Amino acid sequence: MEIVASGIRPTGNLHLGNYFGALQNFVKMQEENHCFFFIADYHSLTTHPTPGDLHGNVKNVLAEFLASGLDPEKATIYVQSDLPETAELYLLLNMNAYIGELERCTSFKEKIRTQPQNVNAGLLTYPTLMAADIIIHKANKVPVGKDQEQHLEMTRTFVNRFNRIYKVDYFPEPVAYNFGETLIKIPGLDGSLKMSKSANEVSAIFLADSPDVIRKKVMRAVTDSGPVDPNKPRSQGVENLFSLLSYFSDPQTNTHFNESYLAGTIRYGDLKKQLAEDIIRFTAPFREKIIALTSDNEYLKKVAALGAEKARVSARKTVREVREIIGFKSF
């Protein structure tokens, strides 16, 4: 039995990238492992310091976790800020996290570019907080999408350094995990390589999107003026549509559009119509459950309370032991 930990920031509704990169694996992993899945609300402050409705966002993501099939009896589902032990471990880890390595992190450099007006210390130390989330439960498997790989590498660096500095063999080395062979990256409808809620409104399809919205977004997806030379690489927008088709449409549909592309007879409008309907078929059951769960405040409250209580057991133990290892002692 593995110990599994992963989280998602509540910065908006969950999209298909979040589902395939993370959530889908959460749901599968809860069956056989000791799992901790949380809503990373501390982390969301690094990009949204004054969130309009922080609690509302947390509630939406919790409803989406449950609608996707996460079971509070099988997994520990909690809100990051309900576990302040994480903040203490983060503080302690920061003492041995070096500015140079934090500054070299790709996601930090990216944020300097995208939010130059708010390059805060929380952004710089985002990887230490993430490491704290993982190792507070001594997890060894972390289901995430490909974009989080470097953060996992940094977690391993911090773990190894902790073990070395304090001459212990205390924290295990966690690895990023996906049920398939490789980590997944779902592309965006705007021609970007990664579907993302933060990058662009038209990049992402959300699990809670209505059929009409999905049709509109897919029909507006970026393409080109038509196949040029079948031997040349497809334009990124078209490549993305084919990639999405491979996730949501059946093999015959995929073969049909691939062949008509090669024959030069493809009509992107037809492909988009088919893709939109297949995505709608996929998201419909999620959407119904999300709507029902979001309005069930009492149930969500119960789930969060149970999760916090369960998460506290391993968190308290880890913080107590780490304090001992470092040398804190009470009189």
Q: Does 14 bind ligand TRP (CB under 6 A)?
A: no
Q: 64 or 147, CB closer to ligand ADP?
A: 147
Q: Is there binding between residue 17 and ligand ADP (CB under 6 A)?
A: yes
Q: Please report, as residue ranges, which positions from 167 to 186 form the binding site for ligand ADP (by CB under 6 A).
A: 184-186
CB of 331 to ligand TRP, least distance (A): 35
User: Cα(292)–Cα(75) distance, rounded to whole angstroms?
Assistant: 21
- Joined together, the tokens standing for residue 166 give 């304090």
Tell which positions 20-79 bind ligand TRP, by CB under 6 A. Answer: 40, 43
Task: Give the shortest CB-58-to-ligand TRP separation in angstroms.
Answer: 14
Separation between Cα atoms, residue 56 and residue 230, nearest integer Å:
48
**Other C-beta atoms lying within 10 Å of the C-beta of residue 325:** 17
Angstrom CA distances, 291 to 7, 78, 180, 193, stand at 22, 20, 30, 30
CB nearer to ligand TRP: pick between 21 and 237: 21
Q: Between 9 and 217, name the residue whose CB sits nearer to ligand TRP.
A: 9
Task: Supply 118's token pair.
Answer: 């708010």
User: What does R_g of the chain's alpha carbons equal in angstroms?
Assistant: 21
Q: Would you call 111 a catalytic residue per the annotation?
A: yes
- The amino acid sitting at 10 is P
Q: 86 near 308, Cβ under 8 Å?
A: no
Report the C-alpha gap between 58 and 63 in whole angstroms. 9
What is the total count of residues that contact ligand ADP (CB under 6 A)?
20
232 labelled catalytic: no
Check residue 247 for interaction with ligand ADP (CB under 6 A).
no
Residue type present at position 43 = H
Tokens of 100: 């140079």
Among 13, 57, 148, 240, binds ligand TRP (CB under 6 A): 148
Closer of 120 and 260 to ligand TRP (Cβ): 120
User: Which residue in the block uniquely carries the two structure tokens 């015959």?
Assistant: 252
Q: Among residues 60 and 148, whose Cβ is nearest to ligand TRP?
A: 148
Task: Report in angstroms how near the CB of residue 60 gets to ligand TRP at its nearest.
Answer: 16
Count CB-CB contacts under 10 A for residue 321. Answer: 13
Minimum separation from the CB atom of position 184 to ligand ADP (A): 5
Piece in contact with ligand TRP (CB under 6 A), picked from 25-33, 109-117, 140-148, 234-242: 140-148
Residues with Cβ within 8 Å of 216's Cβ and at least 6 positions away in sequence, in order, are none
Applying CB under 6 A, does 144 fall inside the site for ligand TRP? yes
The secondary element (H helix, E strand) that includes residue 227 is none
What, of ligand ADP, ligand TRP, none, does residue 134 touch, CB below 5 to 8 Å by kind?
ligand TRP
Q: Could you say whether residue 130 binds ligand TRP (CB under 6 A)?
A: yes
Tokens of 235: 């334009």
145 binds ligand ADP (CB under 6 A): yes
Nearest residue to 17 via CA among 196, 191, 232: 196
Of ligand ADP, ligand TRP, none, which one does residue 17 interact with (CB within 5 to 8 Å by kind)? ligand ADP
Q: Which residues of this chain interact with ligand ADP, rule CB under 6 A?
A: 8-9, 11, 17-18, 20-22, 144-145, 147-148, 184-186, 194-198
Which residues are part of the catalytic machinery?
A: 111, 194, 197
